Chains A and B, each alone.
Chain A
Amino acid sequence: VSVLFDKFDVFAGGFWLTLQACVLAAIGALILGAVVAVLRISPVPPLRAVGTGYVTIFRNMPLTVVMFFAAFGLPALGSNADFLRIPVVDSLFRRLGTDLPYFRFVLIALVLYTAAFVCEALRSGVNAVPAGQAEAARSLGLTFGQNLRYVVLPQSWKASIVPLGSVIIAMIKNSALMGFFGVVGDLSQTADQLTSAEGYAFVPVAIGVSIGYLVMTIPLGALLDRIERRQAVGGR
């Protein structure tokens, strides 16, 4: 068990890197997911088709395949994902700026994959707004954009928050894959490194790494349960 204390800085570093990846991927996925959601409910048929196609592709593909695509496809497209080396942000999240592109590749895969689920969560929120609301807005003469902005989205937000939260929790868990795609020093790679290369006992390392993930997922899950219960009571 002493490995938990001897190597505490390794675990903490792994936790920190995983957390960074999750924060960045969550931001990216929320933005991209919102864009795709707007495409999916827009009045222009080709845009709707693009949104639907995106969701169909990424929701039905294993994240592993998306990651392989990012890791092999982007270099083939002649990109090392250098556009993610955003000047100020990469000094905050130093992994973004390193020469090894794997962190950026994994991030892109995570964002692309999660955005499809974010889109569906947002859309389910929009569908949960009573039809009368949007109809009333239309009969007042609001356009599609106004309707969304002033009537539907402010209300759909409430219905989206729980599904969005579960998507983010799933994303945190999915981020564990990055240790197997060349990213050095995140929580899951730490487990591999400490047990196989440095020969520490397996069980304490597993416990340490598990705690690292549970610290992120369980409180979020509990928070969501609370919000859900509150909404259920308030809705009656």
Chain B
Amino acid sequence: MSILYDVPGPRQRRITVIVSVVAVLAVLAGLYFFVYRPLDSKGQFSADLWAPLVDPRNEDFAQVWSRLGVGIRNTLRAAGLAIVASLLVGSLLAVLRIQLKSLARRRFTGFATPMSHLLRGLSVVLSGVTRACVEVFRGLPVVLTIFFVARGLPEFGITFSTLWYLVIGLTIYNSVVIAEILRSGMEGLPVGQREAASAIGMSPLQTTRMILLPQAYRIMLPALISQLVVVLKDTSLGFIISYEETLNIGKQIIGVLNNPIQVYTVIAVLFIAVNYSLSKLAQYIQRRLARGRKTRTVAPGVAPDAAVAPEGAPVP
């Protein structure tokens, strides 16, 4: 129940029912006249076009699905590799940025004056360079990153299979995004965490690795999962460098059977099913984390700025 309107009374209920019926009729009529009729008149519902995809008795069915299976496996392989690589590189990058930032604030006493100035300048420069890298790769379209990797690396005499171009391209973009997610998670933690860690004698690196990073993973888990959905969706860009993922296989099937709408519908349904369950998982985890926060007496940190509050969640 939304807070935007009251529990409807008899008149409001009547209006709601009337509007509902009208809306349903309008949507159905719209679908019939603007989608079904034109598609039907072009014969897009004919069995010839659909049967290879949905009818196991069709002669092409087995082959079509074995090809699609190859595509799905390739998509999952690229997505899996890219996810693992971006998590690794992203964590390293986040730690590096946090370290460089604190290093840039350090005064380096105990060294000779020119030496300390040099060290300080160096750490400021390094911190700036990593920041610039992050900004640049976050600002570039991931399509272009993949395209540049596939076109650029051979220029320098480095050649891989297309799988690795796709994985490298996706990793460059997503590791930077994940690094920023983790960094904002670490910086959102209460200062006391870091202070307590250094009070018991942990080095800054130990503090980041053993105290801050694990908590950042925890509170940023929903954001990380939605980034994984993004990676999975972005593997479909593999078609521009002719990596054989689901969409590319779909194109090959279309080339033979000439049924674009049907094949893309099936592929879209596959993607939606997987991504929808992933985002439901993210929502579930977010709700569990929120519950965990409430029951404990000590607030363990700032809530992640999730894009959307889960349905029915209490509004702060």
Spell out A's residues near B (CB within 8 Å): 41, 43-47, 50, 56-57, 59-65, 68-69, 72-73, 76-79, 120-121, 123-124, 126-131, 134-135, 138, 143-144, 147-148, 152, 163, 172-177, 180, 188, 191-192, 195-196, 202-203, 206, 209-210, 213-214, 217-218, 221
Contacts and interface: CB of A to CB of B under 8 A. Distances in A.
Query: Chain A: interface secondary structure?
Result: helix
Contacts of A121: 307
A187 B79 CA distance: 27
B5 interface: yes
Contacts of A209: 144
A56 B277 CA distance: 11
Contacts of B316: 128, 130
Interface centre among B2, B144, B152 (most CB of A within 10 A): B144
Nearest to A71: B260
Given A176-B141, A202-B151, A213-B140, A77 B308 contact: no
B141 A129 contact: no
B4 A120 contact: no
Interface in B139-172: 139-144, 147-148, 151-152, 155
A22 to B, nearest CB: 11
Contact of A174 (B2, B141, B279): B141
Nearest to A218: B139
Interface residues of B, number: 61
Nearest to B139: A217
Contacts of A72: 260-261, 264
Interface centre among B4, B138, B275 (most CB of A within 10 A): B4
Given A44-B19, A130-B315, A173 B140 contact: yes
A43 B39 CA distance: 33
A131 B315 contact: yes
Given A131-B3, A147-B5, A46 B27 contact: yes
B108 interface: no
Closest 6 CB pairs of A and B: A176-B141, A60-B275, A217-B139, A173-B141, A72-B260, A62-B236
A218 B140 CA distance: 9
Contacts of B5: 43, 138, 143-144, 147
Contact of A124 (B23, B135, B274, B307): B307
B264 A68 contact: yes
Contact of A128 (B142, B267, B309): B309
